[in-house]
Structure 1
Amino acid sequence: MLDSDCPVRVLIVDDHPMMRDGLRSTIELENDMCVIGEAIDGAQAIELFATLSPDVTLLDLQMPNIDGLQALTVIRKRWPGASVIVFTIYPGDARVTQALTLGATSYLLKSAGRNEIIGAIREAAAGRQVIATEISSELEAYHGAAVLTVRELSVLRLVKEGMSNRLIAESLFISEDTVKSHMKSILMKLGASDRTHAVTIAARRGFIDP
């Protein structure tokens, strides 16, 4: 099918060749859609979006150089009407909320079936949102939950690296008492029993990378 004759023109953005191949094969089985380009990172995604003007972009989050969220930010700023489906292995209410806040049209997991992917592309092309069922349930479960501050996230990332309170304090140029205060707040907000538990919960919910 020629691009000019294709009702739904799709740009695939993913750094894994096998994932791109699988998505392209799935999409091109449909008579009303086609793949017009493939990007391996956020920088190439922005470049191809500018030249190809796709109807829908399937965008991975974890990529080298410029990641998915950075690319999403740029694309939605330059082209406010862009339809972007975040397509990732990562669930988590915080990560999903961030992507939707930045302008993602929909949020799907890579475990989604063929019909779900194709349906989401058609919905996105029509300007409608699709959120994976399991993600919707998590968003509902944590609706209104406390959000970690920028400083708390900085502390938690260093906890994940195995740093002690003293080393965290030195790294962030704050006192150990301040670190302890941040940790107390983090544990309370996440409902965690200890530091390790806090890191596990934060990674699952998308506050920090796994």
Structure 2
Amino acid sequence: VMGDKNSERMERIMARRKRIQERLADIRTGDDDENMQKEKKREEISKGKQQIIESNRRLLRLKAKSDADVTSVSVSGDDRENQRRIADEQRRQELRSKLLSEAESSARQNAAVAMRWADLFSIEVPQELHGEIEKQRASCSSIISSKDELIAEIKSELKSKDDEYVRILKKQAEDIDQMLHFMTQQFREMQRAFQEELEEIENAFLQERTELLAANKL
């Protein structure tokens, strides 16, 4: 009885293995069929059509590279302009802050000087009056000097802006020349590539025609 049970168990194991092997064989057969279909599909594409596909790919790659060269010049110019505007805004805020600070300081000093003038009328000693007048003169000179310094800084900033404007125009002209160079180069390369690919396509179709004629003679 024990032997019969072992025999039945082995038969079930062998049957299971057989089913697994058949299933794996079906899967492999399916993969092989799929690969054969893909290969057959490739073969069905004529040499001429295949050459057209390859030529289009080459021309697209060449155009993408040329476009990237031209775009890089534009992007670089945009980045410089953005950085310049950021720097200009920061400088403008600094000057505005200085103007406000100077205006407040000047207002306080002017008020102090104005209030001091009334006190001078009560001074009767000439030497003391002279000393106070000199103090007023020094205060007025300090106010004027502060304004002159700010005026000089603003004039310097204007001069710097004029120089920067000239540099920007020069750089823009250089960028335009570089873009024109890339565009001219792109045109020549694309023209040459189109000619070469047209010849390749023509040769592929001629070869395909020759092979078809030879096959029909058999």
Give the TM-score normalised by the residue count of structure 2.
Answer: 0.22
Q: Which has the larger radius of gyration?
A: 2
Which one has the bigger helix percentage? 2
Using CA pairs under 8 Å that are at least 6 residues apart, name the structure with larger relative contact order, 1 or 2: 2
TM-score, L = length of structure 1: 0.23
